[in-house]
Amino acid sequence: MTIAFNANHLVFLLQGAGWTLVLSLIAFAGGGLLGFIVALCRISPVRALRWLSTAYVQLVQGTPLLILMFLSYFGLSIAGLSLPALVAAGISMTIYVSAYIGEIWRGCIQAVPRTQWEAAECLALSRVQRMGLVVLPQALRIATPPTVGFMVQIVKNTSLASVVGFVELARAGQVVNNSLFEPFLVYMLVAGLYFLLCFPLSWWSRQLERRLLVAHRVEVATA
């Protein structure tokens, strides 16, 4: 008997989209916190911290996210630590995001004009005060557009969480297609839901980039 696409299938896909959003938020929150630490270590005056953070970034960026998923879920279970699929996927995504976000934010911190650093030093501010009061507020404005743009990649990369049994949007589409055998219809709906999740972020990123460019031109004109 042929099963037609119905409201239950759509609800299941929407639930998968919801879990995709949850995993994306976990990855961004955890990866952002860890990435901020990585960014600070990358510009630290302590050579050991710079080396360790550089090695961490190179290792994570050189490792496919799929492998991180396998290590978090199956590797830890072999070691006797059995994690739920959401936790394993969240850990993997957090590690992955931290390496890339850390590099984005490190570049934005170093993009702050050197004169600002020197002016803060002339005011006899400590390094913590220079970072907190002068450098980071300016770096935040620079970092916002690329950070929002990278969130699109986070949303799309959650599709790999299906390998550890986590039912997000891509996995939900696969389950629905296995019951209907209508791949074109199902995956068009999946693509549409991904678009609804990602397009607002892409649009927001472009708007922020335009505002940053306009603000920069105004500063140059008034300088």
Residue 2 lies in a domain: no
* Residues 2/64, Cβ–Cβ less than 8 Å: no
Residue 1 lies in a domain: no
Residue 55 lies in a domain: yes
Closest to 151 in 3D by CA, of 93, 82, 207? 93
* Residues 186-202: tens digit of each pLDDT: 999 999 999 999 998 88
* Residues 101/32, Cβ–Cβ less than 8 Å: yes
CA distance linking residue 99 with residue 29, whole number of Å: 13
> What is the Cα 53 distance to its own chain's centre?
18
* Residues 109-156: tens digit of each pLDDT: 999 888 888 888 888 788 888 888 888 888 888 888 889 889 999 999
- Per-residue pLDDT at 213: 65
CA distance linking residue 213 with residue 209, whole number of Å: 6
* Residues 67-83: tens digit of each pLDDT: 999 999 988 877 778 88
Residue 185 lies in a domain: yes
* Residues 71/95, Cβ–Cβ less than 8 Å: no
Distances (CA, A) of 182 to 9, 11, 163, 174, 175: 12, 17, 22, 10, 11
| Percent of the chain residues past pLDDT 70, beyond the cut | 94
Domain membership of residue 38 as a residue range: 7-160+168-222
Q: What is the mean pLDDT of the chain?
A: 88
* Dihedral angle computed from the Cα positions of residues 165, 86, 167 and 95, in that order, rounded to the nearest 10 degrees: -90
* Residues 30-41: tens digit of each pLDDT: 999 999 999 999
pLDDT at 8 over 70: yes
The total number of structural domains that make up the chain: 1
| Percent of the chain residues past pLDDT 90, beyond the cut | 54
pTM exceeds 0.85 for this model:
yes
CATH code assigned at 175: 1.10.3720.10
